[in-house]
Structure 1
Amino acid sequence: MPFVIHWVENCSRPETVFKIQTPAGNLVLFARGDVLFKTDWEFAGDPFQIVTGEHDIQRQLNQYWLTPEKPIHLKLLKQGSDFRNKVWAELCRIPFGATITYSALARRIGSAARAVGNACRDNPFPLIIPCHRVVSVSGMGGYAGKTDGDFMTIKARLLDFEAAYKK
């Protein structure tokens, strides 16, 4: 598992916004000190005020694309309901390069596929909590609450990267 997550209950340091380039697009990271509280994909016209220079988290994540099997320790701000945290924890157990259906993931945790899909949609840490590895029984499913467009392109690119790297 490439990301080793250390959950943090709160953080109050000043906000820093930076980005990394990935094979799927630019990922914007929102941090307070060494704690990430959100990640989001960047699209043309996004109004993010990006910090110049390089943050330590940025350096670590840039290495992910070169050696995705190397563990990266990240501090993430814990948020969301108990149910969402249960789904997100299960997402982190999906092996790199593997996929699972919403319904199979729901069975693992004793829930319903729609509820799992909603928790995936509300994931505050795309890429790090790998909701892109969840697919529908009849195809790709969705990504970030969308079933077409830029988000689906990102999902396909992430899955293609992982599949190619595993070979």
Structure 2
Amino acid sequence: MPQLSFHSPLGALTLSEEDGSLVALDWGWARDQDQTDLLRRARDQLQDYFDGSRRPFSLPLNPAGGTPYRRRVWDALQRIPLGQVRSYGDMAVAVGGSPRSIGGAVGFNPLPILIPCHRVVAGTHLGGFSAEGGVATKRWLLELEEAAMLWDRPGVPGIVSGRELAA
């Protein structure tokens, strides 16, 4: 399986390709490196994203290891616009299941950032993040995207670092 590692503001990242699609994005450096056109394009788009100049990714994605339910969740994640967040409950209504099952599917996302699992938050706080760096990485990605999290409940703290979200 061709892999390409590169440095990012979040540390070393490794992209993996199979059959002309990206199947994984992992933290860390892979032993073997193979610079295919797709892997170079994905690296360049991610670097543009980290620089704040790229918005939507335009890459063929085929996340590895997905059950049909997880794939539905991952497809729905890709429809969350840049700069916006959705709650686990919102996702459960949209996709089916429970907030807990959404959290499980989000946690197994093999293409973080490209499939924006960081845009799913709990009802009153950021929630978890299974990628390296945990919630600090999630917060960093949301701030990079200028996502504003405004909670419906008065007195509950949130982040307001950019524009307000459309409901």
TM norm structure 2: 0.73
User: How far has the Cα of 1:89 moved from its partner?
Assistant: 0.8
> Is the 8 Å Cα contact of residues 23 and 161 (structure 1) preserved in structure 2?
no
User: How far has the Cα of 1:65 moved from its partner?
Assistant: 2.9
Residue of structure 1 equivalent to 2:83: 97
Identity across matched positions, percent: 31
CA distance in 2, matches of 1:113, 1:101: 8
> Is the 8 Å Cα contact of residues 28 and 41 (structure 1) preserved in structure 2?
yes
The residue type equivalent to 1:162 in the other structure is E
CA distance in 2, matches of 1:86, 1:52: 30
Q: Which has the higher contact order (CA 8 A, sep 6+)?
A: 1
User: How far has the Cα of 1:111 moved from its partner?
Assistant: 1.7
Task: Select which of 142, 145, 164 maps to 1:162.
Answer: 145
> Is the 8 Å Cα contact of residues 63 and 111 (structure 2) preserved in structure 1?
no
CA distance in 2, matches of 1:152, 1:25: 15
Q: Aligned pairs, how many?
A: 145
Residue of structure 2 equivalent to 1:152: 135
> Is the 8 Å Cα contact of residues 3 and 34 (structure 2) preserved in structure 1?
no
The residue type equivalent to 1:51 in the other structure is Q
The residue type equivalent to 1:155 in the other structure is K
Residue of structure 2 equivalent to 1:57: 42
Q: Match of 2:60, SS?
A: strand
Residue of structure 2 equivalent to 1:31: 17
Superposed counterparts of 1:77-96, under 5 Å: 77-79=62-64, 80-96=66-82
User: How far has the Cα of 1:134 moved from its partner?
Assistant: 0.5
The runs of 5 or more residues in structure 2 that have no matched partner are 148-160
Q: Match of 1:31, SS?
A: strand
User: How far has the Cα of 1:68 moved from its partner?
Assistant: 2.2
| Structure showing the higher strand proportion among its residues | 1
> Is the 8 Å Cα contact of residues 22 and 63 (structure 2) preserved in structure 1?
no
The residue type equivalent to 1:56 in the other structure is R
The runs of 5 or more residues in structure 1 that have no matched partner are 1-14
CA distance in 1, matches of 2:119, 2:44: 24
Q: CA RMSD in A?
A: 2.6
Q: 1:55 to 1:96 in 2, by over 3 A?
A: same
